[in-house]
Amino acid sequence: MTRHWRRSSGSTADNVGATTRFFARRCVDPQLVGDLTADTFVRAMTSFATFDAARGSAASWCAGSADGVS
């Protein structure tokens, strides 16, 4: 699972950084940014079976998860 994630969109760290920036643009509380980022990755990892690389990158899929958390 993790290897496929890395192959399809760069490193997991890249995805964490992008997700953190997504939330940082929307709220000013750093603790909330961290919590929302963590919630996004919990949601992404628990629903990874629904990821379809043919429909887009893991980064795009993760961004969709982030939008659902916020």
Number of structural domains, the chain? 1
What is the pTM for the complete model shown?
0.67
What is the rounded distance in angstroms from the CA atom of residue 13 to the CA atom of residue 58? 13
* 52: containing domain: 2-69
Please give the share of the chain, as a percent, with pLDDT higher than 90. 21
Residue 58: CB partners within 8 Å, gap ≥ 6? 4, 5, 8, 9, 15, 51
Beta carbons within 10 angstroms of residue 27's beta carbon: 13
Q: Per-residue pLDDT for 43 more than 80?
A: yes
45: pLDDT confidence band, cut at 50, 70 and 90?
Answer: confident
User: What digits encode the pLDDT tens for the residues 12-31?
Assistant: 667 788 889 989 999 999 99
